[in-house]
């Protein structure tokens, strides 16, 4: 995956670049808004990471210009501004996701990978499959190894999100935002309990567990071989 | 005091310039400007009214005069034509006897007076035409004292041709009318003087009163700016504009004092209660550098340090959110929020977590209640309460209840546990920042939950109270419903 980092803080940009490289991705760095716009228009990137506060042209303006030029590359907005209004502004400008500083690198990596996956699968998939687990999005049914599994609506959405990002790490914050549409920070591990309930239904009675905990990051659904 | 010195300096400076400060300030007051405006408006209107009345009256009188003169001239001419000159003369002499007699004069073709009651007649021949009345000046002979003349009066007269070269002049005295005009003018002048004096007096009075009040306000604000935030502007309970202004400013000062106190509190909290975990992290890392432990131990310490830092960041964020919400400095607008759906959602969200703790979370949410609110803040508020209930509300009967019901035009949210509860004396302190009950010091969290709840509730225009649920603690939040 090729990522463009538009960040004027050289240290932060280098940190991001190193982390992405270690995760097996290629990255370029632009130090200001104008340079970033030029590079984004000039090459094909899978994901853009754009800081809001940039010299020469601020982040939101860069995003708006790209969108106006019909460039639909997924963009993750980085910002120290954490209020609800700021997030709304960032998304309305054309950003696809919004992450506030300071952030955990695992969080950023998970979101960047999720964004690139979103770009790839544009068509609507009716059925998600991981191993012998099947989720039918139209009929809202779940089965594993042919056996039907009864899920509550919220559990269904949780599993759906995990399976949409099968093989990718999904952080607790991502789950909170996308499955529950919550933007507050629960101090305790409420998400973990929901996951363990889900596991109880789809993993417990079966030989191979599909939902795995990634320490310090979040969760992932995958077959052990994959 | 420095303020007095500056005032004195200013006064001295302007006296040297030759213009006393007080006079310049008086002239600049609104009272002065208003008085001038009133003076001008009233004066102009009064003058216009008086002028109109006097002109109309003058015209009326003039017309009456003219009609009288024309009528009498015609009458006398007719009599001459009916009878003869001598008859006319005797008629005139008879009429001249009347106390309020008109002016009569008959002249021959060369202008010599033949009969009449004038001694002297002065007029401008240029205006003496046969068809108009024209002004003359005349004197009469005093009847009782032959040989003396009356003072010169003015009259309006009309000339008629009798025939045979004789001419008749009939006129009417207009001194009265002129006197009337003079009275009007004198009245106008007098009224102007009275108005001007009254205006000056009222201006002086108002200015003094106004200036005194403005000075009082100025004095108080100077002291407030100098740092005495407890001072308030004086009010005299009269309810006038200055009172209302002072009351409004005092309310503003109350708010400033509260924010100032809040700011100080936050600074103190940050200084004291955040330095502790920071010091902890620092010490642990320092120890690692000194003791050079093995790889595994080192990794453990670093991971713990990161976690501690994360917790610190969360605490900072919470503090900032509380400060921002308490100061109303955010541009967050409250939108119509379905509180029923929000509470039901949160209960469903926390239900597994409750079960995990060995407790039951039961929700009793009345449907369809909406409030002006900010969903994220409201969720944070409920999350904090549920978190607390799950953390501290354990007992044999481990039940946590979240209820939402309507009471008039307010929504009441209650989170109640059946745990050990909180002693009455401690309940008030619990909503201050960083307060933890001693028993709770071992559990995770920075102790900001309830102070956050208090700030969010205040931001939404509601109230929060802690009550003894016997057993357990009940947190009761009252929020105004959306209209």
Q: What is the pLDDT tens value at each position of chain A, 226 positions in all? A: 899 999 999 999 999 999 999 999 999 999 999 999 999 999 999 999 999 999 999 999 999 999 999 988 999 999 887 777 788 889 999 999 999 888 888 899 999 999 988 766 667 788 999 888 999 999 999 999 888 999 999 899 999 999 999 989 999 989 999 998 888 877 778 899 999 999 999 988 888 889 999 887 899 998 875 4
CA angle B344, B345, B349 (to 5 degrees): 120
**B387 with A82: Cβ contact below 8 A:** no
pLDDT, tens digit, 9 for 90 and up, residues B133-170: 788 888 877 666 666 777 888 888 888 888 788 888 88
Q: Do residues A96 and A111 touch, judged by C-beta distance below 8 A? A: no
pLDDT of residue A226: 43
pLDDT tops 70 at residue B47: yes
Contact B376 A104 (CB under 8 A): no
pLDDT greater at residue B307 or residue B400:
B400
A190 to B348: CB separation less than 8 angstroms, yes or no: no
Cα-Cα-Cα-Cα torsion B199, B200, B202, B204, nearest 10 degrees, comes to 160
Sheet bearing A133-136, strands edge to edge: A127-130, A133-136, A141-144, A147-149
- The pTM score is 0.63
Tokens 């009528």 identify what position?
Answer: B71
pLDDT for the residue B142? 67
Instruction: Inform me whether the pLDDT recorded for B361 exceeds 90.
Output: yes
pLDDT of residue B1: 44
Cis check: omega of the bond before B294, within 30 degrees of 0: no
Angle (nearest 5°) at CA A164 between A101 and B377: 40
Q: What residues of A are in contact with residue B352 (Cβ under 8 Å)? A: 190, 193-194, 196-197
Interface of B with A in 357-416 (CB under 8 A): 374, 376-377, 379-380, 383-384, 387, 390-391
Residue B2 has pLDDT above 50, yes or no: no
Q: Measured between beta carbons, which residues in chain A are less than 8 angstroms from residue B337?
A: none
Comparing CB atoms, the residue among B303, B379, B390 nearest residue A184 is: B379
Tell me which residue of B209, B212, B211, B256 sits closest to B232, measured CA to CA.
B256
ipTM summary value: 0.81
Contact: A183, B330; criterion CB under 8 Å: no
For the cut 60, the answer to whether the pLDDT of residue B181 exceeds it is yes
Convert the pLDDT of each residue in B431-465 to its tens digit.
665 565 554 444 555 567 788 898 889 889 899 99
User: Residue A6: which H helix or E strand, with range?
Assistant: strand A2-6
Contact status of A180 with chain B (Cβ, < 8 Å): yes
Distances (CA, A) of A209 to A46, A203, B4, B18: 31, 5, 83, 97
Q: What are the chain A neighbours of B445 within 8 Å (beta carbons)?
A: 187
A139 at the B interface (CB within 8 A)? no
User: Where would I find the H helices in chain A?
Assistant: 10-22, 33-42, 59-68, 84-92, 105-120, 153-164, 172-179, 190-202
Tokens of B254: 């109350």
- Residue B24: predicted pLDDT: 59
Closest of B243, B318, B308, B314 to residue B278, by C-alpha: B308
Q: Say yes or no for a CB contact (<8 Å) between B314 and A188.
A: no
Residues 330-359 of B with CB under 8 A from A: 330-332, 345, 348-350, 352-353, 355-356
Higher per-residue pLDDT: B68 or B31: B68
Going by C-alpha positions, the residue among B181, B238, B223, B235 that lies closest to residue B53 is B181
């Amino acid at each position: 995956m090729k990522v463009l980092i538009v960040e004027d803080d050289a240290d932060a940009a280098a940190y991001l670049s190193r982390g992405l490289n270690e995760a097996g991705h290629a990255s370029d760095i632009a130090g200001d808004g104008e340079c970033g716009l030029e590079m984004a228009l000039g090459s094909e990137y899978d994901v853009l990471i754009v800081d809001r506060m940039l010299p020469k042209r601020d982040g939101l303006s860069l995003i708006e210009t790209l969108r106006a030029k019909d460039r639909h590359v997924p963009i993750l907005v980085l910002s120290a501004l954490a209020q609800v209004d700021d997030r709304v502004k960032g998304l309305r400008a054309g950003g696809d996701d919004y992450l506030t500083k300071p952030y955990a690198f695992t969080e950023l990596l998970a979101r960047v990978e999720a964004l690139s996956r979103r770009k790839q699968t544009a068509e609507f998939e009716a059925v998600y499959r991981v191993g012998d687990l099947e989720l039918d999005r139209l009929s809202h049914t779940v089965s594993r190894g042919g056996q039907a599994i009864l899920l509550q609506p919220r559990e269904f959405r949780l599993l759906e999100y995990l399976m949409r990002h099968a093989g990718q790490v999904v952080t607790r914050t991502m789950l909170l935002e996308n499955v529950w549409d919550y933007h507050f920070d629960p101090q305790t591990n409420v998400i973990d309990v929901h996951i363990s309930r889900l596991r109880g239904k789809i993993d417990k009675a079966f030989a191979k567990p599909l939902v795995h905990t990634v320490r310090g990051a979040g969760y992932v659904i995958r077959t052990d071989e994959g | 005091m420095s303020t007095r010195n500056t005032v004195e300096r200013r006064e001295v400076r302007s006296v040297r310039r030759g213009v006393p400060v007080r006079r310049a300030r008086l002239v600049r007051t609104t009272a002065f400007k208003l008085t001038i405006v009133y003076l001008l408006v009233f004066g102009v209107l009064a003058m216009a009214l008086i002028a109109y009345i006097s002109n109309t009256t003058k015209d009326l009188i003039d017309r009456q005069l003219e009609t009288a003169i024309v009528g009498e001239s015609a009458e006398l001419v007719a009599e001459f034509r009916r009878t003869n000159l001598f008859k006319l003369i005797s008629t005139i002499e008879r009429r001249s006897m009347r106390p309020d007699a008109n002016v009569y004069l008959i002249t021959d073709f060369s202008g010599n007076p033949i009969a009449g009651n004038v001694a002297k007649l002065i007029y401008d021949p240029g205006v003496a035409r046969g068809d108009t009345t024209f002004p003359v000046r005349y004197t009469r002979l005093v009847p009782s004292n032959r040989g003396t003349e009356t003072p010169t009066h003015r009259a309006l007269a009309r000339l008629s041709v009798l025939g045979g070269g004789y001419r008749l002049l009939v006129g009417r005295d207009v001194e009265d009318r002129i006197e009337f005009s003079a009275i009007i003018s004198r009245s106008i002048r007098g009224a102007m003087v009275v108005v001007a004096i009254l205006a000056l007096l009222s201006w002086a009075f108002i200015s003094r009163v106004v200036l005194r009040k403005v000075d009082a306000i100025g004095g108080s604000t100077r002291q407030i700016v100098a740092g005495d935030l407890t001072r308030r502007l004086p009010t005299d309970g009269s309810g006038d504009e200055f009172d209302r202004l002072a009351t409004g400013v005092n309310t503003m000062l109350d708010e400033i004092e509260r924010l100032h106190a809040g700011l100080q509190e936050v600074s103190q909290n940050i200084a004291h209660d955040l330095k502790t975990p920071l010091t902890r992290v620092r010490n642990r890392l320092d120890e690692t550098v000194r003791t050079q432990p093995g790889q595994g131990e080192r990794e453990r310490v670093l991971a713990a340090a990161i976690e501690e830092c994360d917790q610190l960041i969360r605490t900072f964020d919470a503090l900032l959110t509380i400060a921002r919400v308490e100061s109303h400095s955010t541009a967050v607008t409250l939108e119509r929020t379905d509180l029923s759906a929000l509470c039901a959602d949160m209960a469903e969200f926390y239900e597994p977590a409750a079960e995990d703790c060995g407790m039951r979370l039961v929700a009793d949410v009345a449907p369809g209640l909406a409030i002006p609110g900010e969903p994220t803040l409201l969720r944070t508020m409920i999350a904090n309460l549920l978190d607390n209930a799950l953390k501290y509300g354990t007992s044999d009967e481990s039940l946590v209840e979240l209820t939402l019901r309507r009471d008039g035009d307010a929504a009441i949210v209650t989170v109640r546990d059946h745990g050990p509860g909180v002693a009455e004396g401690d309940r008030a302190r619990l909503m201050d920042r960083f307060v933890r009950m001693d028993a709770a010091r071992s559990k995770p969290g920075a102790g900001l939950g309830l102070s956050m709840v208090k700030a969010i509730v205040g931001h939404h225009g509601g109230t929060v109270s802690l009550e003894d649920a016997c057993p357990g603690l009940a947190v009761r939040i009252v929020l105004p419903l959306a209209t």
